[in-house]
Structure 1
C-alpha cells in the first residue's frame, strides 16, 4: 500500500473529523 492510499483511507477521514471538531469548538466559544 502506498502512502497516498494510506492517506486516502486514514488521513482524509481524520482530517474531516478534526475540521468538524475545530468548527464545533470555535462555534461553542464564539457564539
Structure 2
C-alpha cells in the first residue's frame, strides 16, 4: 500500500465531502 497515494485519496475525499455538505450535490467522481 502506497502511503502517498492514500494521503492523496484522503485529501480528495475530504474535499468532495466538504463540497457535498455545502452544496448537497455529490461530485461526479463519488458517483463512479
Q: TM-score, normalised by structure 1?
A: 0.63
Q: TM-score, normalised by structure 2?
A: 0.62
CA RMSD, Structure 1 to Structure 2 (Å):
1.3
Higher share of residues assigned helix:
1
Where structure 2 has 5 or more consecutive residues not aligned to the other structure, the ranges are 25-32
What stretches of structure 1 move > 6 A for 4+ residues in a row?
none
Q: Greater relative contact order: 1 or 2 (C-alpha under 8 angstroms, separation 6 or more)?
A: 2
For these two proteins, the number of residue pairs brought into alignment is 24
Larger Rg: 1
